[in-house]
Amino acid sequence: MSGLVVAIASSATHTMSKPTAPSIRLLAGLGVAGDAHSGETVKHRSRVARDPNQPNLRQVHLIHAELFDELREAGFAIAPGQMGENITTAGVDLLGLPTGTRLRLGQAAVVEVTGLRNPCAQLDRIQPGLMKATLDRDQQGNLVRKAGIMAIVVAGGEVRRGDAVRIELPPPPHAPLTPV
């Protein structure tokens, strides 16, 4: 199973949107070099306020480009990096991956999926109603979070637009993604 990296983004400051770039460097155990969310312990402000010593399970944020297509159909004009993601993929069912899946990005980088991004009200600052648009209900009425997944960096390396995304599932039994 494989997909494609269609966009890369990073920001040295705690901003919702991140400017796109041709490439980023992933650092094992830390995250994206130069990104405000890089580090061994949590960097998201709300999590730091609760416990600054928690491990950083949100080193890299990935979103599937197919979400942008869905949002466009609903009247939202969202571009890669705008929702705070570092890597935008195409052709990978990110939300359907089990916890512990490893994604090989480009030549050397490997990230391990830790869970779902829990959409926050900051999305509504981009465009009113965006947070609600990233939430849904499945046939059983369970909440579905569509704003991407979070991962930690297992092996560092450069990641560029156009790089392949190769999926390595963990051994069964597979645990579904939950918010981290």
Residue 60 lies in a domain: yes
Alpha helices in 65-126 (DSSP H): 65-73, 123-126
What's the Cα-to-Cα distance from 31 to each of 66, 69, 102, 128, 137, rounded to whole Å? 24, 27, 15, 30, 31
Q: Is residue 180 included in any domain, yes or no?
A: no
Percent of the chain with pLDDT over 70: 99
Average pLDDT over the chain reads 96
On whether residue 178 sits in a domain, the answer given is no
Per-residue model confidence (pLDDT) at position 120 = 87
Structural domain includes residue 175: no
Quick one: 78 exposed, middle or buried, by C-beta within 10 A (0-12, 13-18, 19+)?
buried
Amino acid symbol at 20 = T
Of all residues in the chain, the percent with pLDDT exceeding 90 is 91
The span from the CA of 89 to the CA of 178, in Å, is 20
pLDDT of residue 49: 84
Q: Which tens digits make up the pLDDT trace of 4-63?
A: 999 999 999 999 899 999 999 999 999 999 999 999 999 877 888 889 899 999 999 999
Taking 80 as the threshold, does the pLDDT of residue 82 lie above it?
yes
173 Cβ contact list (under 8 Å, min separation 6): none
Residue 177 lies in a domain: no
Q: C-alpha angle 157/162/18, rounded to 5°?
A: 70
User: Which residue type does 118 have?
Assistant: N
The predicted structure's pLDDT at residue 2: 84
Asked if residue 1 has pLDDT above 70, the reply is no
Distance CA 143, CA 36 (A): 29
Provide the domain count of the chain. Answer: 1
Give me the amino acid identity at 123: L
> Is residue 20 situated within a structural domain?
yes
Q: Which residues span the domain enclosing 164?
A: 2-168
Q: What tokens were used for 165?
A: 């995304």
Rounded CA-CA distance 22/127 in Å is 26
* DSSP assignment letter at 70: H
**Cβ-contact 24, 153 below 8 angstroms:** no
Please give the distance of CA 53 from its chain centroid, rounded to a whole number. 21
Contact status, residue 31 vs residue 114, Cβ threshold 8 Å:
no
Is there a domain that residue 81 lies in? yes
Output the domain CATH number for residue 108: 2.40.33.20
User: Does any domain span residue 124?
Assistant: yes
